[in-house]
Amino acid sequence: MKFVIVGYGRVGIRTARILQSEGHEVVIVDNDPVKVERATETGFETIQGDGNEESVLVDAGIESADAIGGLTGDLNTNFTACMIGKEFGCRTVLRIDADYREEIYEKYAADVDEIIYPERLGAAGAKTALLGGDFNVLADLTEQLSVASIRIPDDSPFVGKRVVEVDLPGDAHIYAHGTDHEPMTIPLPQTKIEPGDSVAIMADPGGLDDIRATLRGDASA
């Protein structure tokens, strides 16, 4: 499959590397010459230019791409890139940050195939979205990361907190959230954790026990 990645920042870099490692064709678009040079040296096909310009995306091969990911830190650039990609029949994945109100999130969500929010969903989340994966399916996403589903007990110190406020050990992130008897989905910006909820965690396999203890509020964590 062929993917156009707009934005070669932290999320874009890791997403591109995962897709490339799985044998997919990846084209990087960025307006920063330093980032473009870095991507080129890493072995990616690159286009220097603004990802919100159709001519730039055409140069990147959007006409033959399967999906486009707007993964910059600028929402307007990401959304415009996705809308151009949509016109060319691409699957569209939009990065949006956590500080947007829920109505803003829902407005953009109606026009794209997937939203990844915020950076804590990380590269594995972006990769799954670009491939059209089901966020309710928990599986190993990369060789370095594992996913575990953890149920939140009544006395967890995180009850009442928004998902984006949860700070986990190491490089672990909450990938998805589900209420009792409901399937897991990507949480909205205002989603709060309640007793009995389940969260899907992406983390290094060796750190899962510590993360479970932290979420459950075990004294030894």
Contact indicator for 50, 31 with CB cutoff of 8 Å:
yes
Strands 67-70 and 91-95: parallel
CATH architecture of 2-131: 3-Layer(aba) Sandwich (3.40)
What three-state secondary structure class fits 26?
strand
Q: Which residues contact 13 (CB under 8 A, 6 or more apart)?
A: 39, 123
More confident residue, 115 or 6: 6
Q: Would you list the domain boundaries of the chain? A: 2-131, 146-216
CA distance 134 to 144: 20
Q: What percent of the chain has pLDDT over 90?
A: 38
62, exposed or middle or buried, with CB in 10 Å at 0-12, 13-18, 19+? buried
More confident residue, 55 or 171: 55
CA distance 97 to 116: 8
> pTM to 2 decimals?
0.63
Q: How many CA atoms does the CB half-sphere of 128 hold within 13 Å?
A: 23
CA distance 33 to 42: 14
pLDDT of residue 61: 97
Confidence of residue 142 (pLDDT cuts 50, 70, 90): very low
Range scoring the smallest mean pLDDT among 60-64, 131-135, 210-214: 131-135
Q: At residue 140, does pLDDT exceed 50?
A: no
Domain 146-216 sits in CATH at 3.30.70.1450
